[in-house]
Every structure is written in C-alpha cells, then in structure tokens.
C-alpha cells in the first residue's frame, strides 16, 4: 500500500498540472507536454515503485513477515526498469524547464500588463470620466 503522504502529493501535483494544461499559449502547451510524459510515469510508480514503501514503518520496527514477500515482484520490476524510470525523470525535468521558462515569460508579460494598466489605462479611463463630466455639466 502506497503511503498516504505520497498519494496526496501525486494527487496535488496532478491537479495543479491539470490546471496548467488548460491554459492557452506556451504555458498550456508546455504543461500538456509535461502531463503527457508524467502521467504514464506516475502510473508505473503507483503500480510497482511506491507500494513497497508502505512497509517501511513495519520493517523499521523490526516486524518483517513472510507475507511481505508479495512486494518482491514489484521491487524486482523496479530494479529492472530503474534505468528507464530515471530516463523518464530526465525527460520530465527537461519538459518542466520548458514549462518554467514559458511560465516565467508569461509572468513577466502579466507584470508588464499590470504596469501598463497602472501607468496608462487607468489614468486614461479616469481622464475619460473627467472629460465627460466637464463637458456635460450645465
């Protein structure tokens, strides 16, 4: 059984990534690439890499039981697929770098937009109101 903390972490990361995939433009595109790479990787982790960790507390307390051998096919599979799992991590990290760069560009563009509103659009809208008020008062 996968430790609840790891399940919660995967669920939170997945939920946040789903939100990003709904974005338009470069951020959404980069997030969709991450999701495409990450989903099958998470499935494999949850299938055979993380369930053995549910036994850690018992093993640490010295309570090793013969029925725990049921995890051996999972740990054997992890050992066999470890090079591929690590290669997948490299691909995901590369895609995350592209997502971070796209998000940083978006954040900078949004900051510039806010500055433009503060320095130009809001004052211009206030001038429109003042102009209309001045020209329509009797």
Residue 121 forms part of a structural domain: no
Write down the H helix ranges in the chain: 4-21, 25-44, 56-60, 72-116, 122-136
Q: Given this model, what pLDDT does residue 110 score?
A: 87
Structural domain count, the chain: 1
- Domain span including residue 46: 4-108
Q: What is the pLDDT of residues 19-75, one digit of tens each?
A: 999 999 999 999 999 999 999 999 999 999 999 999 999 999 999 999 999 999 999
Residue 124 forms part of a structural domain: no
CB 48 within 8 A of CB 76: no
Residue 41 forms part of a structural domain: yes
């Amino acid at each position: 059984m996968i430790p609840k903390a790891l399940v919660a972490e995967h669920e939170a990361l997945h939920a946040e990534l789903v939100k990003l995939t709904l974005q338009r433009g470069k951020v959404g595109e980069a997030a969709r690439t991450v999701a495409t790479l990450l989903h099958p990787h998470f499935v494999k982790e949850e299938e055979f890499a993380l369930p053995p960790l549910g036994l850690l507390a018992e093993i640490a307390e010295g309570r090793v039981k013969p029925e725990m051998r049921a995890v051996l096919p999972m740990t054997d599979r992890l050992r066999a697929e470890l090079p591929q799992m690590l290669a997948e991590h490299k691909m995901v990290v590369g895609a995350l770098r592209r997502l971070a760069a796209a998000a940083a560009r978006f954040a900078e563009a949004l900051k510039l937009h806010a500055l433009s509103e503060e320095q130009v659009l809001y004052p211009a809208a206030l001038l429109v109101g003042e102009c209309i008020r001045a020209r329509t008062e009797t």
